[in-house]
Amino acid sequence: MWFQQDGATCHTARETMDMLKDEFSEQFISRNGPVSWPPRSCDLTPLDYFLWGYVKSLVYVGKPKTIKALEDNITRVIRGIQAEMLEKVVQNWTFRMDHLKRSRGQHLHDVIFKK
């Protein structure tokens, strides 16, 4: 299993990096980690370009009033994600990777974002 964290500076504190090394050995992607955080990676990771926005758009419907309600909404939304949707996300990710390879790492401004 691989672990990927975003490039936020607060996520690369010495204690955090030590914990990641203990837990994942060399199999984690992070700024200052064994595998560098890729440039423009928000365009590359399904969590960033799809999942968090999708989940957030459904979790906040009804404006949860308590932490418990928020946690329940998050759990419900994530459990409700259909396999077909995840297959489309993986297809879109593969398309992005192919485009990135062809463009030699340039911006993904020509990528058509599909639902």
User: pTM value?
Assistant: 0.52
**pLDDT tens figures, 4-54:** 776 677 778 888 889 888 988 888 888 778 877 666 555 567 777 788 889
Query: Are residue 108 and residue 88 in the same domain, yes or no?
Result: yes
Q: Cα–Cα distances in Å, from 79 out to 1, 21, 36, 59?
A: 21, 30, 31, 12
Query: Are residue 74 and residue 57 in the same domain, yes or no?
Result: yes
69 is written with which tokens? 């309600």
Q: What does the alpha-carbon distance between residue 102 and residue 109 come to, in Å, rounded to a whole number? A: 13
Query: Tokens 């297959």 sit at which residue?
Result: 87
Q: Phi first, then psi: what are they for 33, rounded to 5°?
A: -100, -175
Range of the domain at 13: 1-39
- How many domains, in total, are found in the chain? 2
Query: Tokens 């199999």 sit at which residue?
Result: 27
Amino acid at 103: S
